[in-house]
Amino acid sequence: MDGFTYTTQFADLALRMEDEAIKRDFPEFKRMPSLRGTGVWLGQLRPMAQTYEVRLAMSFGSADADLAYPRHPSSVRVLGSAVRPAASGTPVPHLYGSWDDPRGAHLCLYYPPDEIMVPGEQAAPKLLPWAYEWLHYYELWLVTGVWSGPAAPHDLIEPTDVVPSAEDRPRRVSLPRGVRGALMRCMTYHLNQERPVLARSSAIAA
């Protein structure tokens, strides 16, 4: 598994930072009750003609002395089947999975190797603006048949990046790239120094 397991304390701190930024820039989005180390927000975006119900979720993967919490790639989903194929039947581009996924259409917002997604600084500065932009291009795609936004082809991703997940197997999925920045390595190191984290398997076993 790529990436790190953070302390739950750190994950909660990062999620509070995300929430504060969302409240500032996207005040219509509200945080929903969720597991520790996990953030879920519901809100609306209206890039042009239509208003879309949007669900943002992020789980950084954390653990404390007693429990380990899952890690999932941050996801932005459009709810209520508002995203659907063109009248011609052409499938919607830049989606993970199907448009009629009962959990909502899962938007492909970025090419993972291009981005370093730092916990605490993902949602308001990047994910929600990109979701807004995605919906803008989606509306234009519906009437022109052409996705005019910048796109990276799937072929670019290396086979090693194809990670089967219990949630989406066997589709290709995009996981946020593990944080390898010196700063975050350093923070994790110091947090772990103060409150060591047990290995995930042993934490679950305990």
Q: How many residues bind to other proteins according to rule CB under 8 A?
A: 56
Which of these, 32, 55, 34, lies nearest to 102 by C-alpha position? 55
Rounded CA-CA distance 58/39 in Å is: 5
Tally of CB atoms within 10 A around 34:
15
Beta bridge partners of 204: none
Stretch that binds other proteins, among 66-74, 111-119, 175-183, 198-206 (CB under 8 A): 111-119
Contact in structure between 12 and 63 (CB atoms under 8 Å): no
Does the protein bind other proteins through residue 129 (CB under 8 A)? yes
Q: Is 151 in the site for other proteins (CB under 8 A)?
A: yes
Is 158 an interacting residue with respect to other proteins (CB under 8 A)? no
Subset of 66-85 contacting other proteins (CB under 8 A): none
Region binding other proteins by CB under 8 A among candidate stretches 31-39, 47-55, 158-166, 178-186:
47-55
162 forms part of the interface with other proteins (CB under 8 A): no
Q: How far apart are CA 16 and CA 21, in angstroms?
A: 9
Tell me the pairing of strands 52-63 and 6-7: parallel
CB of 38: closest distance to other proteins in angstroms?
A: 22
Q: Please, which residues bridge with residue 40 across strands?
A: 32, 57
User: Which residues form the interface with other proteins (CB under 8 A)?
Assistant: 24-29, 43-51, 87, 90-91, 93-95, 108-112, 114-115, 125-126, 128-130, 132-134, 136-137, 139-155, 174
